[in-house]
Amino acid sequence: MNLKKTGRNVLLCMCDAEILGKTFREGKTTFRVKEDFYRGRRVAVEEAIDLIEASTIVNMVGKNVVKKAIERGFVHPEAVLNIDGVPHAQIVKI
């Protein structure tokens, strides 16, 4: 996970470790799990999910992190985009 602070915003980027650096394609959509965006500290899924409450923008990709965010009520299952079988979700708090 990577935590970035910009002004009043806190951006939390998290992905499952095994997909970091990979690219997924489905139809005309290409999704790159870029290391410079997602790489930061390697933490347990629970620790990363706990940081959602203190973040204003969250970008998550991977079966484990998205599943846990759904279980904790941060993401509605219908709001998840699947690209080549890999779930991706975003949260923006206004």
CATH code of residue 27 = 3.30.1860.10
Q: How many domains does the chain have?
A: 1
Handedness of CA 43, 47, 48, 51 (dihedral sign): negative
pTM of the model: 0.93
Strand order in the sheet with 57-61: 2-6, 9-15, 57-61, 86-92, 81-83
Note down pLDDT in tens along the chain; length 94 residues: 999 998 999 999 999 999 999 999 999 999 999 999 999 999 999 999 999 999 999 999 999 999 999 999 999 999 999 999 999 999 999 8
d(CA 66, CA 77): 9
Task: Find the domain containing 19 and state its range.
Answer: 2-92
The answer to whether residues 75 and 69 touch, using CB atoms and an 8 Å cutoff, is yes
